[in-house]
Chain A
């Protein structure tokens, strides 16, 4: 179990990237949701021991790890959001080098293990090719291969599916699910659907603050009976948006099909109650957080 307490990170500026995060991350898959710039990557970097926080503690199975990040590194699999490889090395050589750096071995030998891992991420065909010739997706898969190598007790993956096609994305999720059975996997993403599919628990952060931490069922349950769906004109859609009710809106045959949050009985005709999705929950949480900060700003004024 990862226990994060009062985690604060202030960059010179000053810019508050994290403003006191308290979070427990149990064994299994844990999703971290948030808009761009919410502080997800900062949070992940701190967990991975690559960024010193301004204050706060992180314990893992009761052991404080911030002061001694090497305790984490020896059991960590990490896939950062932005990364690269030595461009002049082949994928195979690159992976093998990283396995050596991690002190990973296998009964079949490092070469075979490297080949098997490359096969896992479908890079066998490009194993001998220089990394500088890899596409974005191939590079991401090589990153995934090094992250999952060595049976890491803690796997931190930051936006792992960026650059992957839908099919690969699903396969990767299957792999993550397999891995999450007996270890902690922290998945940072801004794709709500990924969390909905994969994570038994998730947290939402916005502007460096924790907005919510719960299971998807709890989240959906909290909105049960308040989500309605219907088609509207552009003017009506604008009115609904102004009222802050819209959770999702898509165009279907030239008309806007929207999902709104409303109390039963206050919904206009044509709208039907539907089961809430995690995306509805996320949008509502964001909306609430915006209102709260506006209110806080008003009070401060």
Chain B
């Protein structure tokens, strides 16, 4: 070994020895140890496999699983530790002042830098080795839950490969980058903040941001520049589920560009170290840069600096005594002193490069959270000021809290680090002023970020050209709700600094506090008393200010402010302006003195305790409290066995009178159900369910007072004589209650409510009126007592199938609503009377055609009327009204033509506050939350407002006229047919481009959300398994569309009309099998029909096309394109292949879009052929083009559902 190498090795060994014994690394090893064991529960896992009992699971030991685990866990855990170890390496030596002695030896700067870096890297390599060894022991030897299902065979390569490809480059890159940062800037804050910024940027953007419209080339670029490697894994292997067999048995198939990018990360890390070495070499020898030399030359040339030098001698007074300066010390107030400190700190912050690096990153984060926010079905949201504040709330909280932590700790440590402390502490400035000044300055950073984020929000709004600027939401959400979090956190960090008096100790405890908070949040253990950062609690609605959590939010924020005062008091008391004496500390810790000290803090703690108790009591009395859960669980326990399968009568008529007091959340409901037994068997008992918090209900049966058996609010009525088939019975009810009954536990919204903004109540939930029979959803907790759904025989559809929604046959309704006159009251049917008496408005709704379900909705609205349609909307939400009205009109007209004439008088749609994001279509009365449709970002191409309206309007037919059966294959007739209807209406109104856009969107959702191993044929879908929703909606809609292509539009619609007519008032509710059977006679080619339905309805198939060996040859003015299409997926479908040139459709402005569908451009040319590659097979194609083609694309008109459509494209 030559001398240079030996010296570098010596430095490396020293550095390695230092780190390997350092608590930092020991903490990392412990964290990794616990996490590894914790991960056997599957917290970081590939979302594949079947989670139901007996389902096939993904192994935790497969190469895919280990790669994912190492990729995520190591990036999350190592980043900060590597940054501290590597970034602080050179600054630490500077602090210890060992540099001059070290570099006066034969040691060269390069040897020093590379030696140090090698030492650091070696120490982390040891940690990785320990971690991987521990993983092997835990995964393969130790016992854990479901080990028999999750433990696969051992393969050393499964661990070795990800370490080499994923972890190694991560480490080298991070270590090199932070080393460079620390060496060049010598600023700890940059070193600490860089990993945080990288983590946030990766976790919130690079890992997850992949909107459907993202150009695949940009997507690939993002995969290559993401240091963790997670994006590549996700986009290439995990996002579209490949099935548990694939993940459990196959090796991770790295592609060459990705491997090259990993190599480049290594080179970038090493390059950063080399750069450090060169810079360090220059600085250690006192060399200056060319700019520095020029500056120095100018300074020497300057007559002033040449004359005034140090050699002039010191302490010249020019004959004047110090007294002549007339200096005086003036007593200053606390505020002035604090302002002096704050001003200085602010100046210091303003010159801190970290801020200019991290503020833009935070902004990017916030703007990304706002700009790319999606609502239901992945629709882009229109960013209103209120929505922006709530969408960015969590991001801003997390990032600013972390920034405050670092800036607070570093600003408190600055005097110690620079050696100014003895002078600083011996000044006459009050301790309180020192603390306050620094806190104010650091909080000002938060305010600056908020202002900048506000500017970001304004830019987004300008870019979207729609929502108007409004400062109120910013002041309320960020000012009143977010700022107390910052005050509380800053004061807490200051108190930690005061108690621990150590920078790293404070970081450790503060980060631990954040982790504990996050754990409590993720495990749903948080409530209003402890949720200091209001994580995931804020929902903004333009219609109702902070509903439904206004009151608990106020109490929570007051609690936060009182907490700040407490921590500040503690800090002032404990802040060590002078060094404590160790002996005296022991005396202070004596119980009596501790008690006395605690008593002094009691005035600050008492209001907190009192308020926490008050809030805690409200939480424990709330509708999500343990007591409420126990009531619901009792309902489940008492009634499941007896009443789940009990026969129920049909409703013949409902008389309902509802008084609403939105400000008090109160409802008074009186009414009468007329039941009729439609079954052959006599009906001896009738059970009705009311929400378990409702008390003091007055009942009547057949007009006489009656006391039913009360089984935890399942009320059982036993008529004197059993109801024979066709017999009817009237049961009346009268009760008053509040809804919601108390506050939420930890924020969030609710599906149904009575709030000052309005009311949404439906016949599904037993609050508006009793629900017939037993309700399976009450008292069932997913992780506690949820059971697997019933398995039905294949011919179950042939018998009598009950309805999905506890109803039997359509019934008539007469609903009277009354409440404050400023509200409008809507319900099912036709409005027969509306008048105002005093302060009350009365509305009377009568069903002009029987309905299957009923609801009421109240609000303060403006109205837009169309042709037999009306939209009731918040006056500020005019953005998409025209598009929605257009869709509603078109839906009413065309669905009537295609499926069945709309039987009711008017089709209306009412908006409700964003307390939940959903839409429901009751007969004549559709409800939309403001996040759906009204605040959807609808551009001419995506037309999302049109799409969601068309879908919900389709439920008038699919869900109301046809009520699906309560068994597998039932709900797909509601949701899948609604999507199919939307596809049809989209093509009718918006042309081919409109339909293909929507079809591609739902196809992509299906690809991303399906669960290969749990996916069942469409006839078996019951909504109980992971991935069922997308199969029901997206695949369902697609398959119905493909069926129409097989049958031909006219035949298909004729079949659908006959099917629907047959089911209108049929107590035997339809399943998909009924649909398939009843449409068959209308198929022009029954063999093709059978082949298609067998493939798509009764088995699980989905093709995936890929072009291979595509070539373009020119022959004169003709071009020939040849190649093969390989079907990597399953199923066999004829698929078109097109060679194209130019942009297909004209780009439309919003105004042009209103005029009609986009036309095909003049420059567009195409040539098509059709191939039918079977699963796993290839089919050759040849296209003769009279133009030079640019692109070959499979299925240009989106007629075949497929996976990874973006891959079924070849650029020539």
List A residues at the B interface (Cβ < 8 Å).
9-12, 45, 48-54, 69-70, 73-76, 78-80, 82-88, 97-98, 100-108, 113, 116-117, 119-122, 124-126, 135, 137-138, 141, 143, 146, 148-151, 164, 167-168, 171-172, 174-175, 178-179
Contacts of B419 on A, CB cut-off 8 Å? 82-85
Bound-complex Cα distance A121 to B329 (A): 21
Interface residues of B in 312-352 (CB under 8 A from A): 312-318, 321-323, 325-332, 337, 340-341, 344, 348, 351
B1151 at the interface (CB under 8 A from A): no
Contacts of A102 on B, CB cut-off 8 Å? 329, 427-429
| Least Cβ–Cβ distance between B411 and chain A, in angstroms | 11
B310 contacts A125, C-beta separation under 8 Å: yes
B418 at the interface (CB under 8 A from A): yes
| Least Cβ–Cβ distance between B425 and chain A, in angstroms | 6
Bound-complex Cα distance A104 to B296 (A): 35
Bound-complex Cα distance A98 to B340 (A): 10
| Least Cβ–Cβ distance between B313 and chain A, in angstroms | 6
Contacts of A175 on B, CB cut-off 8 Å? 315, 317, 322
Nearest-neighbor residue (CB-CB) of A84 within chain B? B419
Question: Beyond A86-B420, A138-B310, A150-B327, is A73–B321 a contact (Cβ under 8 Å)?
Answer: no
| Least Cβ–Cβ distance between A86 and chain B, in angstroms | 5
B583 contacts A10, C-beta separation under 8 Å: yes
A sample of 26 cross-chain residue pairs with beta-carbon separation below 8 angstroms, ordered by A number, consists of: A9-B581, A10-B582, A10-B583, A54-B581, A54-B584, A70-B430, A73-B426, A84-B420, A85-B418, A85-B420, A101-B428, A102-B429, A103-B329, A105-B329, A106-B328, A108-B326, A113-B327, A116-B325, A119-B318, A121-B315, A122-B315, A138-B310, A151-B328, A168-B313, A172-B315, A178-B322
B465 at the interface (CB under 8 A from A): no
Nearest-neighbor residue (CB-CB) of B347 within chain A? A93
Bound-complex Cα distance A138 to B422 (A): 18
| Least Cβ–Cβ distance between A96 and chain B, in angstroms | 10
A106 contacts B326, C-beta separation under 8 Å: yes
A105 contacts B330, C-beta separation under 8 Å: yes
A151's partner among B322, B429, B430, B584 (CB-CB below 8 A) is B322
Given contacts A103-B331, A143-B423, 12 further A-B contacts (CB under 8 A): A49-B426, A50-B426, A50-B579, A69-B578, A73-B427, A78-B423, A103-B337, A103-B428, A113-B325, A119-B316, A135-B310, A151-B322
| Least Cβ–Cβ distance between A178 and chain B, in angstroms | 6
A76 contacts B426, C-beta separation under 8 Å: yes
A148's partner among B322, B351, B430 (CB-CB below 8 A) is B322
User: Top 6 closest A-B pairs, CB basis?
Assistant: A84-B419, A125-B308, A171-B315, A122-B314, A80-B422, A101-B427
Question: Beyond A125-B305, A151-B323, A168-B315, is A50–B578 a contact (Cβ under 8 Å)?
Answer: yes
Instruction: State which size class the interface on B falls in.
Output: 35 or more
Q: Give the one of B312, B422, B578, B584 with max A CB within 10 A.
A: B422
Bound-complex Cα distance A80 to B422 (A): 7
Contacts of A86 on B, CB cut-off 8 Å? 348, 414, 418, 420
| Least Cβ–Cβ distance between A11 and chain B, in angstroms | 7
A49 contacts B429, C-beta separation under 8 Å: no
Main secondary structure of the interface of A (DSSP, over half): mixed
| Least Cβ–Cβ distance between A143 and chain B, in angstroms | 7
B309 at the interface (CB under 8 A from A): yes
Q: Report B296-316 CB contacts with A as 1/0, cut-off 8 Å.
A: 000000001100111011111
Contacts of A107 on B, CB cut-off 8 Å? 326
Contacts of B582 on A, CB cut-off 8 Å? 10-12
Contacts of B331 on A, CB cut-off 8 Å? 103
| Least Cβ–Cβ distance between A63 and chain B, in angstroms | 15
A78 contacts B422, C-beta separation under 8 Å: yes
Bound-complex Cα distance A119 to B330 (A): 23
B213 at the interface (CB under 8 A from A): no
| Least Cβ–Cβ distance between B703 and chain A, in angstroms | 85
Interface residues of B in 72-95 (CB under 8 A from A): none
B580 at the interface (CB under 8 A from A): yes
Q: Give the one of B308, B321, B427 with max A CB within 10 A.
A: B427
B583 contacts A54, C-beta separation under 8 Å: yes
B310 contacts A126, C-beta separation under 8 Å: yes
Nearest-neighbor residue (CB-CB) of B341 within chain A? A101
A53's partner among B305, B328, B430, B581 (CB-CB below 8 A) is B581
Bound-complex Cα distance A253 to B308 (A): 41
| Least Cβ–Cβ distance between B296 and chain A, in angstroms | 11
Bound-complex Cα distance A83 to B310 (A): 21
Q: Give the one of B314, B318, B340, B427 with max A CB within 10 A.
A: B314
A146 contacts B423, C-beta separation under 8 Å: yes
Contacts of B326 on A, CB cut-off 8 Å? 106-108
Question: Beyond A51-B578, A83-B422, A146-B423, is A104–B305 a contact (Cβ under 8 Å)?
Answer: no
A103 contacts B422, C-beta separation under 8 Å: no
B581 contacts A122, C-beta separation under 8 Å: no
B313 contacts A171, C-beta separation under 8 Å: yes
A141's partner among B305, B314, B579 (CB-CB below 8 A) is B314
| Least Cβ–Cβ distance between B420 and chain A, in angstroms | 6
| Least Cβ–Cβ distance between B1001 and chain A, in angstroms | 53
B504 at the interface (CB under 8 A from A): no
Bound-complex Cα distance A175 to B316 (A): 9
| Least Cβ–Cβ distance between B120 and chain A, in angstroms | 25
| Least Cβ–Cβ distance between B330 and chain A, in angstroms | 5
Bound-complex Cα distance A47 to B340 (A): 26
Contacts of B332 on A, CB cut-off 8 Å? 103
B18 at the interface (CB under 8 A from A): no
Contacts of A69 on B, CB cut-off 8 Å? 577-578
Nearest-neighbor residue (CB-CB) of A85 within chain B? B420
B1098 at the interface (CB under 8 A from A): no
A51 contacts B579, C-beta separation under 8 Å: yes
A52 contacts B580, C-beta separation under 8 Å: yes
Contacts of A75 on B, CB cut-off 8 Å? 329
B315 contacts A101, C-beta separation under 8 Å: no
Q: Give the one of B313, B318, B420 with max A CB within 10 A.
A: B420
A174 contacts B315, C-beta separation under 8 Å: yes
Contacts of B337 on A, CB cut-off 8 Å? 101, 103
| Least Cβ–Cβ distance between A114 and chain B, in angstroms | 11
| Least Cβ–Cβ distance between B873 and chain A, in angstroms | 57
Bound-complex Cα distance A107 to B304 (A): 28
Contacts of B317 on A, CB cut-off 8 Å? 120, 175
| Least Cβ–Cβ distance between A215 and chain B, in angstroms | 25
Q: Give the one of A82, A87, A103, A178 with max B CB within 10 A.
A: A103
Nearest-neighbor residue (CB-CB) of A76 within chain B? B426
Contacts of A49 on B, CB cut-off 8 Å? 426, 578
A103 contacts B330, C-beta separation under 8 Å: yes
Contacts of A52 on B, CB cut-off 8 Å? 578-581, 584
B254 at the interface (CB under 8 A from A): no
Contacts of A101 on B, CB cut-off 8 Å? 337, 340-341, 424, 427-429
Nearest-neighbor residue (CB-CB) of B308 within chain A? A125
A88 contacts B428, C-beta separation under 8 Å: no
A171 contacts B329, C-beta separation under 8 Å: no
B328's partner among A48, A80, A105, A143 (CB-CB below 8 A) is A105
Nearest-neighbor residue (CB-CB) of A97 within chain B? B344
| Least Cβ–Cβ distance between A208 and chain B, in angstroms | 15
B329's partner among A88, A124, A150 (CB-CB below 8 A) is A150
| Least Cβ–Cβ distance between A117 and chain B, in angstroms | 8
| Least Cβ–Cβ distance between B269 and chain A, in angstroms | 29
Bound-complex Cα distance A168 to B316 (A): 10
Q: Report B691-706 CB contacts with A as 1/0, cut-off 8 Å.
A: 0000000000000000
Contacts of A85 on B, CB cut-off 8 Å? 418-420
Question: Beyond A104-B328, A150-B328, is A80–B316 a contact (Cβ under 8 Å)?
Answer: no
B321's partner among A100, A104, A178 (CB-CB below 8 A) is A178
B313 contacts A167, C-beta separation under 8 Å: yes
Nearest-neighbor residue (CB-CB) of A143 within chain B? B423
Bound-complex Cα distance A11 to B582 (A): 7
Nearest-neighbor residue (CB-CB) of A172 within chain B? B315
B308 contacts A124, C-beta separation under 8 Å: yes
Bound-complex Cα distance A168 to B337 (A): 34
Question: Beyond A49-B578, A87-B418, is A125–B312 a contact (Cβ under 8 Å)?
Answer: yes
